[in-house]
Amino acid sequence: MTADEAMDAAARALFATSFGTDPAGVWSAPGRVNLIGEHTDYNDGFVLPFAIDRRTHAAARPNGTGRVRVASTFADGIVEVALDDLDTMFPADAARPGAAPNAVPNAARVAQWAAYPLGVAWALRLAAAARTAAGVDLAIASDVPVGAGLSSSAAIEGAVASALNDLWGAGLDPVALAQVGRRAENEAVGAPTGIMDQMASMLGRTDAAIFLDCRTLHADVVDLGFAAAGLEIVVIDTRVSHTHATGGYRDRREACERGAVLMGVPALRDVSVADLARAQTVMDATTFRRVRHVVTENQRVQDAVRTLRSVGPTAIGPLLDASHASMRDDFEISTPELDVAVSAARAAGALGARMTGGGFGGAAIALTPRDRVDHVAAAAASAFEKAGFAAPHVFSVEPSDGARRDA
């Protein structure tokens, strides 16, 4: 049985035990790895993620009531909400204009995980004006690791959005469904994330990445050619957990906003590498380093796309290395574990390596020739042991197709 078949079976089994019947269909959406372009999305910049061969499956069926019921293999029990109550539940109070700063989100009325699928139901109804959407049962199973920087959140959003889009006949396209997922995450869950994860999960293709302009949402498929070049992406999950909602992430976003204001532009996307000399004269040193990361990272994404198209994937290693150095030194979102993972991978034969995801923990990725994959895994494990860190979780991911109906 493939991993996909196992997750499909798990979602069906959970559906049967939770709701006493078979689903009408199963939809799935993948997690993602961001090859390059970190903290550029909310600066209207460029990113180059790919969907991975780890997916979240949602088995679903209309239930003939006005209620949404959700179950997940990650949590006990069924969470049940009337469709008409979604509008009073979301957005979370904390996200409402004029809400007290410490307002307890209404979403706290349901288990935190259930705010993802229920938030998608809420946002999809608004986007599609599908006010008559009928009640539905959902059972979710996933092999996307949670909190490892692989976006299990976009995977659950994409799977549920795809299922409801079909069952409700909402007719939204993949980009609109990505926006539904983002809205759910921002306003129902209350996590201030960009659009990258959802776009990668919706639009991914086998052995290809998505070159996304986060200002226009224009997305180009860029062939990676890993298979032909004998390359793999090794993920080294440090198992140090991150949370996007904490101070570090907000602080970086504020620094970027401040930098854009001081440069007199709508977003850091509008600042070029050539503008950095002027930037240094109009802002404090810390804000400047945050700005420099974003500006140079945007350039690296564009350079990576050009290099992939002209030379091929073996040539992008130095760009990955430069991206990591920029996040470690200028944006200051790396951790000792991530730095050790990156240098161990490189010493063991990776062509390039960098932390991926929001930072403050999570995973590093290493572009690795197939015959060096075992060396990289062993080197990471022994470097972690030597440094006194808990053992990392090391595995390869393959660039894969985006959200789809499976059955």
Chain residues binding ligand ADP by CB under 6 A are 56, 72, 74-75, 112-113, 116, 140, 142, 146-147, 149-153, 156, 244
* CB nearer ligand ADP, residue 142 or residue 162: 142
Minimal distance in Å, beta carbon 357 to ligand ADP?
6
Q: Is 201 in the site for Mg ion (CB under 5 A)?
A: no
Q: Give whole-number Cα distances, 112 to 108, 116, 190, 240, 335, in Å.
A: 7, 8, 10, 20, 27
Minimal distance in Å, beta carbon 197 to Mg ion?
6
Minimal distance in Å, beta carbon 242 to ligand ADP?
7
**Residue 197 appears among annotated catalytic residues:** yes
Binder of residue 165, out of ligand ADP, Mg ion, none (CB less than 5 to 8 A by kind) = none
Q: Is 153 in the site for Mg ion (CB under 5 A)?
A: yes
| Among residues 43, 56, 151, 298, the one that binds Mg ion under rule CB under 5 A | 151
Binder of residue 13, out of ligand ADP, Mg ion, none (CB less than 5 to 8 A by kind) = none
The catalytically annotated residue of 41, 44, 137, 197 is 197
Total site size for Mg ion, rule CB under 5 A: 2
* CB nearer ligand ADP, residue 148 or residue 345: 148
Q: Which stretch binds Mg ion (CB under 5 A): 151-159, 269-277, 278-286, 390-398?
A: 151-159
Answer for the pair 59, 44: CB distance below 8 angstroms, yes or no.
Answer: no
Minimal distance in Å, beta carbon 151 to ligand ADP?
4
Binder of residue 21, out of Mg ion, ligand ADP, none (CB less than 5 to 8 A by kind) = none
Binder of residue 204, out of Mg ion, ligand ADP, none (CB less than 5 to 8 A by kind) = none
* CB nearer Mg ion, residue 72 or residue 151: 151
* CB nearer ligand ADP, residue 113 or residue 168: 113
* CB nearer ligand ADP, residue 30 or residue 317: 30
* CB nearer ligand ADP, residue 158 or residue 399: 158
Q: Is 186 in the site for Mg ion (CB under 5 A)?
A: no
Binder of residue 116, out of ligand ADP, Mg ion, none (CB less than 5 to 8 A by kind) = ligand ADP
Minimal distance in Å, beta carbon 147 to Mg ion?
8
Minimal distance in Å, beta carbon 398 to ligand ADP?
18
HEC-encoded secondary structure of the chain: CCHHHHHHHHHHHHHHHHHCCCCCEEEEEEEEEEEECCCCHHHCCEEEEEEEEEEEEEEEEECCCCEEEEEECCCCCCEEEEHHHHHHHCCCHHHCCCCCCCCCCHHHHCCHHHHHHHHHHHHHHHHHCCCCCCCEEEEEEECCCCCCCCCHHHHHHHHHHHHHHHHCCCCCCHHHHHHHHHHHHHHHHCCCCCCHHHHHHHHCCCCEEEEEECCCCCEEEEECCHHHHCEEEEEEECCCCCCCCCHHHHHHHHHHHHHHHHHCCCCHHHCCHHHHHHHHHHCCHHHHHHHHHHHHHHHHHHHHHHHHHHCCHHHCHHHHHHHHHHHHHHHCCCCHHHHHHHHHHHHCCCCEEEEECCCCCCEEEEEEEHHHHHHHHHHHHHHHHHHCCCCCEEEEECCCCCCEECC
What residues act catalytically? Answer: 197
Binding residues for Mg ion (CB under 5 A) = 151, 153
